[in-house]
């Protein structure tokens, strides 16, 4: 097994199944400005690069003039309904408990306030040292500077740090910073696209991590 000093987790599609609530809030925003709703799969395909990109893609180029209004409507609705249908994936808490002594953080392109509300609402905040959201730094995944910050802050060895996620940005963030990448294929990302990106590890179930990695004791 590979020894791991620091585990960097994505949030949406990795720890929590957030897709339905994102879809509902995007479609609520589209309806509110008089546009037609979109199929869930089309909206899920827009996820991964932050809320502005999500709404830009959902609106399409012809409706860009509605972006500010749609963002405001989405933000208000999602902030109230982000836990309506969202749940932890099976095995998540088992994995977090197994690696309870290993340093763990969340790195997501989701806004910090949404991320904190989700993590608290799902009862897993206690497992993480830090949450870095889309507005926590002036850059998003896959920018390597976020990972470099974490490596330095937690004195983690590059070769013993893993990025765990379900999207292309997670793989690219790992590759850009020289850490390991592990991809969960049953999240929000397109599995065929992810397979072509040559991550270090691929898993169908997050519990497979237990057989792959050996945790390190966190410094007190």
Query: For residue range 94-120, what is the model confidence (pLDDT) as tens digits?
Result: 999 999 999 999 999 999 999 999 999
Distance CA(33)–CA(38), nearest Å, equals 13
**What are the structure tokens assigned to 192, written together?**
């065929």
The yes-or-no verdict on residue 218 having pLDDT over 80 is no
31 backbone dihedrals φ, ψ, rounded to 5°: -60, -40
Distances (CA, A) of 213 to 43, 126, 177: 34, 21, 20
- What confidence score (pLDDT) does residue 123 get? 98
- What is the mean pLDDT of the segment spanning 142-151? 97
Reported pTM:
0.94
Preceding peptide of 189 cis, ω within 30°: no
Report pLDDT for 217.
54
Report the first-to-last Cα separation within the chain, whole angstroms.
Answer: 24
The pLDDT of residue 1: 86
The catalytically annotated residue of 10, 21, 49, 166 is 10
Instruction: Tell me how far apart the alpha carbons of residues 125 and 118 are, in angstroms, rounded to a whole number.
Output: 9
User: What is the arithmetic mean of pLDDT over 196-208?
Assistant: 97
pLDDT, mean of residues 59-63:
92
Q: What percentage of the chain carries pLDDT values higher than 70?
A: 98
Q: What is the mean pLDDT of residues 205-220?
A: 79
Q: What pLDDT is recorded for position 220?
A: 32
Residue 21 is a catalytic residue = no
At 215, is the pLDDT very low, low, confident or very high (cuts 50, 70, 90)? Answer: confident
Mean pLDDT of all residues in 192-203: 96
Q: What angle do CA 189, 163, 111 make, to 5 degrees?
A: 65
Residue written as token pair 């987790």? 9
């Amino acid at each position: 097994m590979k020894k791991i000093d620091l585990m960097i987790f994505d949030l949406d599609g990795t720890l929590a199944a957030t897709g339905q609530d994102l879809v509902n809030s995007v479609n609520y925003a589209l309806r509110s400005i008089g546009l037609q709703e979109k199929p869930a799969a089309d909206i899920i395909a827009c996820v991964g690069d932050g809320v502005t990109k999500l709404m830009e893609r959902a609106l399409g180029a012809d409706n860009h003039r509605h972006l500010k209004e749609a963002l405001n409507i989405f933000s208000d609705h999602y902030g109230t309904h982000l836990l309506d249908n969202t749940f932890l994936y099976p095995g998540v808490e088992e994995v977090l408990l197994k690696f309870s002594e290993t340093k763990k953080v969340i790195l997501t392109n989701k806004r910090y306030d949404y991320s904190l509300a989700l993590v608290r609402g799902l009862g897993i905040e206690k497992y993480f040292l830090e949450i870095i959201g889309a507005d926590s730094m002036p850059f998003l995944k896959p920018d390597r500077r976020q990972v470099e910050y974490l490596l330095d802050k937690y004195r983690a060895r590059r070769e013993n740090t893993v990025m765990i996620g379900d999207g292309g940005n997670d793989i690219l963030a790992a590759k850009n910073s020289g850490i390991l990448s592990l991809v969960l294929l049953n999240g929000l990302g397109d599995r065929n696209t992810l397979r072509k990106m040559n991550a270090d590890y691929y898993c169908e179930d997050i519990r497979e991590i237990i057989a792959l990695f050996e945790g390190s004791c966190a410094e007190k």
